[in-house]
Structure 1
Amino acid sequence: MRALLLSAAGAFAVDQISKIAVVHWLDLKHLLVMPVAPPFLVFRMGWNAGMNFGLLSGAEARWILIALAVVVSVVLIWWARGFTRTRARVAAGLIVGGALANAFDRVLYGAVADFLNMSCCGIENPFAFNLADVFIFAGAAGLVLWGEDRPRAAKTP
């Protein structure tokens, strides 16, 4: 369980520190766009009041999305108690940390601070994301690979 809690705390901290550094210290909230290594990496300010691609972006959905992140985190922690592989617990922790970091943004700002924009090979990506989103994606991929390592009961004919 320690691996889960440490990875959750780490993901949460890295995401929040990155947002403080880019959004506030580099003042992206006012500059709105900052080329870093165009077109591969551009800091592009976006406030996402909803879910992916702005779904459920109404003001009334804010607290529902915060509650959903907390409930999913609690359920995931409960489920991960049965994991025997450390990497599965780390993957679950990445999801928990990312989800709670985005929920924290919703409490503080009313929306999630997104600032990473990546494009490549002549394809322009209009969407921005943040490190919490990266941690959630990586954690989900990790759970697909390592989430269930207990042997399943043998089927009898």
Structure 2
Amino acid sequence: MNQITRSGWSAYGLAGLVIVFDQAVKAWILGLGLRLYESRPVAGVLQFTLVPNKGVSFGFLRADQDLARWGLVVFSLMVAAMIVWWARRAHRPLQALGYGLIVGGAVGNAIDRARFGWVVDFIDVQRIGFFPWVFNVADSAITVGVIALLLDSLRREPAAS
């Protein structure tokens, strides 16, 4: 059996932190008593707007039926499991960062979908004018994780000796 690298353990730890933070923030948001689609100004262009996202990403590919909902839960967890498998052999910090953020975000949103039938989205910066979507901590983690993996893929490999 292959040993898990130090970066792999870092990815696992980060994924766990993202899941806990994501779920804690969502619990706090749900505890504010916002009605669906109600907005509450926070600071500057930031406001909280409670939006039930039945779609995959930014509301695309809606899962209005239970079969689709549970299919998305299973798919998210399968993708997370695949990335957990890859992360065990991670050797670079940026790679571990990407894996951990993506796994944590995918599992965080899968938990919402399993619990509520939709993902809890609430971060709203629409007043900026060019970003019309409402998102959450897990979505942000997935986005930053993908960027980290893309940046990691641009690294130069040392020449073989």
**Cα 1:124–1:91 shift into 2, 3 Å:** closer
Alignment partners' CA distance in 2, 1:149 and 1:74: 25
The count of corresponding residues between Structure 1 and Structure 2 is: 151
The answer to whether the 8 A contact 2:36-2:51 is kept is no
**How far apart are 1:152 and its partner, in Å?**
8.2
Q: Does 1:63 align with 2:58?
A: no
**Cα 1:33–1:67 shift into 2, 3 Å:** same
Q: What do you get for the CA RMSD once the two structures are aligned?
A: 2.3
What is the aligned-residue identity percentage? 34
Q: Please, what TM-score do these two structures have when normalized by structure 2?
A: 0.83
Partner of 2:47: 42
Paired residue type of 1:127: W
**Cα 1:132–1:94 shift into 2, 3 Å:** same
**CA displacement 1:37-96 (0-9 Å, x = unmatched):** 24x111011001121224232222101110111110111122223321133112201100
Question: Aligned with 2:148: secondary structure?
Answer: helix
Partner of 2:145: 139
Give the alignment partner of residue 33 of structure 1, picking from 39, 62, 66.
39
Listed as ranges, the gaps of 5+ residues in structure 2 are 1-7
Partner of 1:90: 97
The answer to whether the 8 A contact 1:84-1:149 is kept is no
Listed as ranges, the gaps of 5+ residues in structure 1 are none
